């Protein structure tokens, strides 16, 4: 076979094409069907500044020194609503240990978001991000996405649609400091 380089090349192309086409069947799979990658874990958190739902100024950098739980949410998002009570539970457990909680309300209207905050008795501030600008810089594809940022400003955890690993991450951060 090696006497025929063209044949080898063609076989290579055949293998590649078959692998590409038959396995995936589509060159552009739907993003929502894809597993969430962890592209920014253990990377420094990008800058995050803006205005909160209640109108005050928010700057993630000002919270440096303490672990921060960053939750991207929206009032129309069913999974966000389902996990809000659990998130509130984490707040009451960890806020006393110096953990900061910060919401980022994406693709939303402020009145609807404020009604959500009132209904779920959310007691941490949320940055208002109707254009999903901050979601973009944090590579967040969809709410609810929860990040844990350590005191040095490094992203230590990223979870989509779940909070299950947040307590252990916070425990290890609090234990090590």
Question: Which positions touch another protein (CB under 8 A)?
Answer: 1, 4, 6-7, 9-10, 13-14, 17-18, 20-22, 24-32, 34, 37, 39, 72, 75-79, 81-83, 106-107, 109-112, 115-116, 118-120, 130-133, 135-137, 139-143
Q: How, if at all, do strands 126-129 and 100-106 pair?
A: parallel
Residue with Cβ nearer another protein (36 or 154): 36
The least CB distance from residue 97 to another protein, in Å, is 28
- Separation between Cα atoms, residue 71 and residue 160, nearest integer Å: 10
Residue with Cβ nearer another protein (14 or 41): 14
The least CB distance from residue 14 to another protein, in Å, is 5
The least CB distance from residue 12 to another protein, in Å, is 10
Residue with Cβ nearer another protein (12 or 167): 12
Give the contacts of 78 (CB within 8 A, at least 6 positions apart).
none
At residue 164, the 3 state secondary structure works out as: coil
- Separation between Cα atoms, residue 93 and residue 99, nearest integer Å: 9
Question: Contact at 8 Å (CB) between 58 and 68?
Answer: no
The least CB distance from residue 132 to another protein, in Å, is 4
Residue with Cβ nearer another protein (150 or 159): 159
Question: Contact at 8 Å (CB) between 94 and 170?
Answer: yes
Residue with Cβ nearer another protein (62 or 131): 131
CA-wise closest residue to 51 among 147, 150, 130? 130
């Amino acid at each position: 076979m090696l006497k025929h380089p063209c044949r080898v090349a063609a076989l290579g192309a055949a293998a590649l094409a078959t692998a590409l086409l038959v396995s995936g069947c589509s060159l552009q799979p739907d993003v929502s069907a894809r597993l969430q990658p962890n592209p920014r874990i253990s990377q420094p958190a990008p800058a995050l500044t803006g205005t909160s739902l209640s109108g005050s100024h928010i700057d993630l950098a000002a919270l440096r020194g303490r672990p921060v739980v960053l939750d991207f949410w929206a009032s129309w998002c069913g999974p966000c609503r389902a996990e809000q009570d659990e998130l509130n539970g984490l707040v009451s457990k960890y806020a006393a240990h110096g953990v900061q909680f910060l919401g980022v309300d994406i693709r939303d209207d402020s009145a609807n978001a404020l009604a959500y905050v009132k209904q779920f008795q959310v007691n941490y501030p949320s940055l208002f991000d109707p254009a999903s600008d901050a979601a973009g810089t944090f590579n967040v594809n969809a709410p609810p996405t929860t990040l844990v940022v350590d005191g040095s400003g490094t992203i230590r955890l990223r979870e989509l649609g779940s909070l299950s690993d947040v307590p252990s991450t916070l425990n290890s951060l609090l234990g090590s400091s």
